[in-house]
Amino acid sequence: MTPFLAEFMGTGTLILLGNGVVANVVLTDTKGHNGGWIVITTGWALAVYAGIVIANPYSGAHLNPAVTLAMAVAGKLEWSSVLPYITAQMLGAMTGQLLVWLVYHDHFNRTKDPGLKLAAFSTEPAIRNNFANLFSEIVGTFVLVFVVFYITGAEITDSKTKIGLGSIGALPVAFLVWAIGLSLGGTTGYAINPARDLGPRIMHFLLPIKDKKNSDWGYSWIPVAGPILGGLLATWIYMAFK
């Protein structure tokens, strides 16, 4: 499997299971309806685990443009690999979201609230405040990238793509994402990953979803810019004090 295909499949699995649990909780007449925040954060943590297990042997399982950029800035990934990685992540996120929509198609149709339909695609803030929302995404992604550096010891293989995680080593990252969701996710829904938010948001715009609202493009820059800034800040601080 090539790194491109690994990032595509890993990110697709991440979104399929991650936004799948959101759809299960928020959409009408699902078995998991009103399951709550613990179910969502647990589902997302396990989605991260599954994505890493698939992709890590071949690409290092970045699954996140913020992680890819962080690795490149740290000198752990060739800059020539950045665009292919991010392209694969975006396409994977869009494909995973298409599958979520197909699996829950009847429930999307039964759900009256267009905001809940959008929630099964992309994030939105609990209280809309651009500065506070951006800060939340910066902090959440800072924690993600900073701790991942320490979990992996920043050990890179000869290919300079892997971040040193096996199927067992993926568990700490899953727990980390779970902790971020439980502790910091209440403000914005913790995108902490530009592909996770932008790819599904594009699909919300493109798909013929019954009675959907607009895709909230006015907010869409925050879950892209915040994770990138948070990831870069984490990288610079890690490099300065390691």
> Is this structure's pTM higher than 0.75?
yes
Q: Domain containing 50: what range? A: 3-241
Q: What is the pLDDT of residues 164-180, one digit of tens each?
A: 455 566 899 999 999 99
Q: Which residues contact 215 (CB under 8 A, 6 or more apart)?
A: 118, 121, 122, 201, 202, 204, 205
Q: What is the pLDDT of residues 207-242, one digit of tens each?
A: 999 999 999 999 999 999 999 999 999 999 999 987
Which pLDDT value is given to residue 241?
Answer: 87
How many independent structural domains does the chain possess? 1
User: Rounded to an integer, what distance in angstroms lies between the CA atom of residue 117 and that of residue 47?
Assistant: 20
Q: What is the pLDDT of residues 33-49, one digit of tens each?
A: 999 999 999 999 999 99
Which pLDDT value is given to residue 151?
Answer: 86
Residue 155's pLDDT band, with cuts at 50, 70 and 90, is: very low
CATH of the domain at 22: 1.20.1080.10
Q: What is the pLDDT of residues 68-125, one digit of tens each?
A: 999 999 998 999 999 999 999 999 999 999 999 999 999 999 999 999 999 999 999 9
